Amino acid sequence: MDYAPNTDAQLQEMLRAIGVGSFESLISTVPAELHARALEVPSGLAESEVIALGEELAGRNRALTEVVSFLGAGCYAHLIPTVVDALASRGEWLTPYTPYQAEASQGTLQAIYEFQTMVCELFQMDVANASLYDGASSVAEAALLALRTTERSRILVSEAVHPHARETLATYLIGSTATVQEIPTVNGVTDLEALGKALRDDVACVILQQPNVFGCLEPMGQAGELAHRVGGLFIASVYPISLGLLQPPGAYGADIAVAEGRCLGSPPAYGGPGLGLFTTTSALLRKVPGRLAGCTVDQAGRRAFTLTLQTREQHIRRERATSNICTNEGWLALRATIFLSLLGPRGMQELARLNLEKARYARERLREIPWISPAFDQPVFNEFTLQFDAAHPVEAVNRRLAAAGFAGGFPLAEWYPAMPQGSLWCVTELISKASIDRLIEVLKRVG
């Protein structure tokens, strides 16, 4: 929508109160291309005409039901069982925001408790909190916990950790004396030799992602051992669906394990909102950020649930707080709880296997295209990086695919300028063998 006119009395009063002459002056530091644009809605339209105009504008977007999408890059489309929407849409779940009065919110607290339990089981970690804002903030909060615990000042993070997580970490550390050092990659995975050379007794933590941003599987156990040798903590950022097959963080000695949990029962939705999963060991229990729901008994000896260990007041006292995150992504956590309870361990394993097998098939078929080659020689889960030759720019190929009803791979050049022809492809259970075969036929005509 367009900006409110400057003649608006309330707006002018607010601007005067903060010492700004106009709304345009207030936002002068924001680049012009990011300013909101007017929708150019003609005046005098009836409500039905405005609705029709809105639907026409919305129709310019293409939904995942209209295209075959091979996009991933941290935001993944998975099947959402109908019952997830049916249960999560009940009014009881839509009204509670955050349970300050435990006795009045037993249902919400139990849902959080069950969520924490399932996340612990999936990650094979001791403790999970009630959730954080998203996967990127979970990475940053994990690093802050490591800084507090070790009383050290240096963070080592692989350059194969998602750029959004690394950028969020940098933002969290503004004003801090802590420093971040990025560890390079070799053949698509973290260079353990470079990691070993960077490790000293001032390192608070080492952060790796599994699978990493290129889709490659990292040597998590070895990286964790290196971190522990110098007394640092090992932080693993993982893809929850992959844990149906891949080794969970608790099995390779992660001190903190985090994830973006939106893939567990919630749609991509333009990339948000997210669901930050945060787990750790019992040794770090009292330093966990955010909320924890615990199970106890009431005065009558009946099972009851309550927020435990931390109070809201702790978060308000900024300089003494474990974290200033004092709420949780309750509704998305609920959806994840329903999703995990429906699939169970066997269902998660089958889901992960479907992703692995379909990605393997797509990767092999794509290698048939003469101008496409694998960027790395590494095992992958359901995402992989391809290299196009110079005669086939990634963006141009994606435009051809879009015209044929496909969303092609994610161009990596913006994140990794040294990979101008890198393209990141993801295959989930939603993509059929027939769609992959049709993709190959389209790409053969592109050549």
In the prediction, which pLDDT does 2 show? 45
Distance, CA of 70 to CA of 431 (rounded, Å): 8
- On the question of pLDDT at 197 being above 80, the answer is yes
Nearest partner of 160 among 137, 201, 134, 188, judged by Cα? 188
| CATH superfamily assigned to domain 68-79+345-446 | Aspartate Aminotransferase, domain 1 (3.90.1150.10)
Task: For the chain, give every domain's residue range.
Answer: 9-48, 68-79+345-446, 82-339
pLDDT band for position 37 (50/70/90)? confident
Q: Which H, E and C letters describe 30-94, residue by residue?
A: CCHHHCCCCCCCCCCCCHHHHHHHHHHHHCCCCCCCCCEECCCCCCCCCCCCHHHHHHHCCHHHH
pLDDT band for position 4 (50/70/90)? very low
In the prediction, which pLDDT does 95 show? 54
The reply to whether domains 68-79+345-446 and 82-339 share a CATH topology is: no
Mean pLDDT in residue range 284-297: 91
- On the question of pLDDT at 102 being above 60, the answer is no
Burial class (CB in 10 A: 0-12, 13-18, 19+), 25: exposed
Q: What is the 8-class DSSP label of residue 132?
A: B
pLDDT band for position 224 (50/70/90)? very high
Question: Which of 137-151, 217-231, 296-310 is least confident?
Answer: 296-310
DSSP labels for 241-295? GGGGTSPPGGGGT-SEEEEE-TTTT---GGG-S--EEEEE-GGGGGG--S--EEE
Nearest partner of 291 among 337, 260, 265, 329, judged by Cα? 329
- On the question of pLDDT at 359 being above 80, the answer is yes
In the prediction, which pLDDT does 108 show? 86
Q: Which CATH number fits domain 82-339: 3.40.50.720, 3.40.50.300, 3.40.50.150, 3.40.640.10?
A: 3.40.640.10
Q: Above pLDDT 70, what percent of the chain?
A: 94
Distance, CA of 365 to CA of 373 (rounded, Å): 11
- On the question of pLDDT at 390 being above 80, the answer is yes
398-413: per-residue pLDDT in tens?
A: 999 999 999 999 999 9
H/E stretch holding 144: helix 135-150
71-99: per-residue pLDDT in tens?
A: 999 999 999 999 999 999 988 776 555 55
Residues 6 or more apart whose Cβ sits within 8 Å of residue 351 = 78, 241, 244, 343, 429
Work out the mean pLDDT of the chain and round it to a whole number: 92
Mean pLDDT in residue range 157-172: 97
In the prediction, which pLDDT does 63 show? 86
Distance, CA of 119 to CA of 250 (rounded, Å): 12
Question: Which of 17-26, 139-148, 189-198, 216-225 is least confident?
Answer: 17-26
In the prediction, which pLDDT does 116 show? 97
Nearest partner of 377 among 131, 154, 187, 163, judged by Cα? 187
Mean pLDDT in residue range 347-356: 98
User: φ and ψ at 57, to 5 degrees?
Assistant: -65, -45
